[in-house]
Amino acid sequence: MVGAAQASISCRRCGGTDIHWSSDLSEHDKATFAAKARENKIGSMKFARASFAMSLKDAKALALHVSDSGNRCHRCHGDIALGTSVCGQCNSANLNW
């Protein structure tokens, strides 16, 4: 990899898919991305590609794992922790940014 260090989490629910993002992303960047993803997945993927220089594959994996609002798992809607976490009910990785 060229450039910044990567942070990642793997999603067991998706069969061990690795989700990557740059560890240079600020809390503000993450919150902005997550807000967009909760409104419009496609729009948030375009935003991640343009603003974070991500590949489409990585941007898609990121967008699909943003939690629902109110600290809810994007898949089963169970309660999840803040930040990057794994749902205790369905094992989905959640980006609760």
Question: Per rule CB under 5 A, is residue 89 in the interface with Zn ion?
Answer: yes
Instruction: Note whether 73 binds Zn ion by CB under 5 A.
Output: yes
> Any contact of residue 78 with Zn ion (CB under 5 A)?
yes
Distances in Å between the Cα of 95 and the Cα atoms of 2, 5, 43, 92 are 24, 18, 17, 10
Q: Contacting Zn ion (CB under 5 A), which of 14, 20, 46, 71?
A: 14
Select the residue interacting with Zn ion from 48, 63, 87, 95 (CB under 5 A).
Answer: 87
95: Cα separation from own chain's centroid:
4
Residue 42 CB-half CA count within 13 A:
0
What are the residues binding Zn ion (CB under 5 A)? 11, 13-14, 73, 75-76, 78, 87, 89-90, 92
